[in-house]
A = this chain, B = another copy of it.
Amino acid sequence: MAMKTLTLAIIFFLLLLDCSTARKPKALRHRRPCKRLVFYFHDILYNGYNAKNSTSAIVGAPTWGNTTKLTSNNHFGDMVIFDDPITLDNNLHSPRVGRAQGFYIYDKKETFTSWIAMSFVFNSTQHKGTINFVGADPILSKTRDISVIGGTGDFHMSRGVATIATDSYEGEVYFRLRCDIKLYECW
């Protein structure tokens, strides 16, 4: 009988092991971020005088605007394409660790608000791959949340939420944004 009980105990143990494995799916979903990354990116908008330094340009405008200057009506209808340097701190001259590439549009007449779609592109020893973002960006809010909708390379299949904050700006030329990325799906 002792032998049988032992056998049963072993089977139990294996079974428990099996079940506990079942609880660990390949990709975990987390209540708290499974990965958190903070970056700054720096947008220098072309205004007719800064061809060399600018990192973005207006490429679409409503019929009452033009592509040299952000339009009236809270820039409603302006579309800007950008290729902005990413840094680890809030210094424009810090080493670039990646590029923020994509576009934003100003989408409301009554106040400043925008909508953004972009990728963070990394190709360094620390990070290789991309993180893709989409979301409403009401720029007058102290912080605003956009969606992390996917990723590649080191960020394969990532999903999450990124909290954007305007860290600094100068007139209508320089915008520095803090991007606090919280991934809730890590593979």
Chain A interface residues toward B at CB < 8 A: 1, 4-5, 8, 11-12, 15-16, 18-23, 25-27, 29-31, 46, 48, 57-63, 66-68, 76-79, 81-83, 99, 101-103, 105-109, 113, 115, 117-119, 121, 129-130, 132, 134-136, 138, 145-153, 156-157, 159-161, 184-185, 187
User: Within the complex, which residue of B79, B130, B138, B148 is in contact with A136, where a contact is CB–CB below 8 Å?
Assistant: B130
A129 contacts across to B, CB distance below 8 A: 145
A–B complex contacts, Cβ < 8 Å, 19 sampled = A4-B5, A8-B8, A15-B16, A22-B22, A59-B105, A60-B60, A63-B66, A79-B103, A83-B108, A102-B115, A102-B136, A115-B118, A121-B136, A129-B145, A132-B146, A134-B134, A147-B150, A149-B150, A150-B159
Task: Look across to chain B and name the residue whose beta carbon is closest to the beta carbon of A162.
Answer: B152
Given A134-B132, A147-B132: A81 touches B79 (CB 8 Å cut-off): yes
Whether the pair A78, B63 counts as a contact (CB closer than 8 A) is: no
A108 contacts across to B, CB distance below 8 A: 83, 99, 101
